[in-house]
Amino acid sequence: MKSKHIIALDQGTTSSRAVLFNEHGEIQGIAQQEFRQIFPHSGWVEHDPHEILSTQLGTLTKVINEHKIHPSEIAALGITNQRETALVWDRKTGEPVYNAIVWQDKRTASICEDLKAKGLENHVRKNTGLVIDSYFSATKIKWILDNVPQAKEKALRGELAFGTVDTWLIYNMTGRKVHVTDYTNASRTMLFNIQSLEWDHELLKVLDIPQSMLPEVKPSSYHFGDYLTEDHLIPITGVAGDQQAALFGQACFEPGMAKNTYGTGCFMLMNTGDKTQLSKNGLITTIAWGLEDKVEYALEGSVFIAGAAVQWLRDSLHIIDHSKDSEYFATKALGSNEVYVVPAFAGLGAPYWDMYARGAIFGLTRDTGKEHIIKATLESLAYQTKDILNAMQEDAGLKLTRLKVDGGASANNILMQFQADILGTDVERPEVIESTAMGAAYLAAIQIGLWKKEDIVKNRKIQKCFKSEMSDEVRSKLYNGWQKAVKRTMNWID
């Protein structure tokens, strides 16, 4: 019998990746391709939908060819994706009517203010688990319908389709036959009732979005459709938004288990089981996954700018050549110069939810050098994580003994040690930090009976556990400085 492989398509904010797994859940290969970030105006962020598709399919083809895999040897595909990013396209032509509006985009802040003025905050919180914010998809759809010529009329005639990135990929990979999403991505639109598992009619009406635009919603482990390549059909059987996929890949299957992913943004999720738990501390409630006729939920805290802050050091300030150089320079500034970087380039996420905050650097003195700014930028990831963990522990009524970490920046030892220090909690890094891709692969494999949830727990190995070495006094002093810095960035834009 030919060996069976699972391929996870990991469509992220700055790059598309394809990760090849063998039947034992071991990574055999990775292909990656970056794509353009489009900034038409201050605070606006867009992607070209065709680039999203071409880079994703390009990496899939590359990983298959490089490892000489015949399509018949691929048992299934899993998809995990940047969430909240909104795409609208013409059903007849398949052509997007506008660029993808990215989750970081701030252009719809005024629409959000109108919704708040109409008293919809409680309805949104209770039914979608979210807060009213330009981060989510709903107001992006409204903006496209209101601002693209003929879009509203076409939508009313049923000629337009909306999707998050998973929906766009599946639609194109199935020859434009399947218009579908999964529970996790639907729960990020601010249009989906996470209790009844249906699109919310009141919000659609208020935002003037025809329901005919919206995809069908299915469990995260499900046969979504088939991708035809070389006359061979490969089933697409797992779909989850990137952070829920990472929660699954980290085997956070019990209530109270939490993980933090250090990617473009920084996202902490805690499994809360089969019941929704609404936050009193600025967190959001989201669907963790739909599996085996059961939906599980999670509390989530979102940091909008994490790894993107390191990219800012590289691409905008040009004070490092490569992202990994940040660790080297940070070691040169250890134990000196209390500088704080608040990377609120896209406002502040949980627990502050301030769309009008902007980035700043505090504590500069004459002897501040680039190494201090680099170190402070790395530390901002850890401080923002502490903000969220404090809120999460208060909501859940428990104290975490260890935090599971993954994502690109979790490979940075300086950052992970500081994270353990500022939390006063063990930080556990697995051998394989590709938790997002692993989660998508496992969801796909479970649907076809190749693996079980127990296999994820069994296969997970710890590479390093970072333990706090900081005194309570120093921790408190540093964190108080961070909170003071954050307060001074808030409400910067009138």
Q: How far apart are CA 3 and CA 74, in angstroms?
A: 8
3-state secondary structure of 320: coil
Distances (CA, A) of 78 to 11, 242, 247, 293: 11, 11, 15, 19
Q: What is the DSSP string of 391-443?
A: HHHHHHT---SEEEEESGGGG-HHHHHHHHHHHTSEEEEES---HHHHHHHHH
Q: Which residues pair with 78 in a beta bridge?
A: 8, 238
Q: Which phi and psi (to 5°) does residue 116 adopt?
A: -65, -40
- Rg (alpha carbons) of the chain, rounded to whole number: 22
Q: Is 311 annotated as a binding-site member?
A: yes
Q: Is 408 annotated as a binding-site member?
A: yes
Q: How far apart are CA 92 and CA 159, in angstroms?
A: 7
3-state secondary structure of 340: strand
Q: Which phi and psi (to 5°) does residue 356 adopt?
A: -105, 5
Q: Is 425 annotated as a binding-site member?
A: no
Q: Which residue has the tokens 């992607």?
A: 47
Q: How far apart are CA 179 and CA 170, in angstroms?
A: 7
Report how far Cα 338 is from the mean position of its chain's Cα atoms.
30
Strands 266-273, 294-303: pairing is antiparallel
Q: Is 15 annotated as a binding-site member?
A: yes
Q: Is 94 annotated as a binding-site member?
A: no
Q: How far apart are CA 428 and CA 269, in angstroms?
A: 15
The upper half-sphere exposure of residue 447, i.e. CA atoms within 13 Å in the direction of its Cβ, equals: 25
Q: Is 66 annotated as a binding-site member?
A: no
Q: Is 264 annotated as a binding-site member?
A: yes
- In 304-352, which ranges are E strands? 340-342
Q: Is 13 annotated as a binding-site member?
A: yes
Q: Is 307 annotated as a binding-site member?
A: yes
Q: Is 412 annotated as a binding-site member?
A: yes
Residue ranges of the binding site for glycerol: 83-84, 135, 242-243
Residue ranges of the binding site for ATP: 13-15, 264, 307, 311, 408
Residue ranges of the binding site for sn-glycerol 3-phosphate: 13, 83-84, 135, 242
Residue ranges of the binding site for ADP: 13, 17, 264, 307, 408, 412
Residue ranges of the binding site: 13-15, 17, 83-84, 135, 242-243, 264, 307, 311, 408, 412
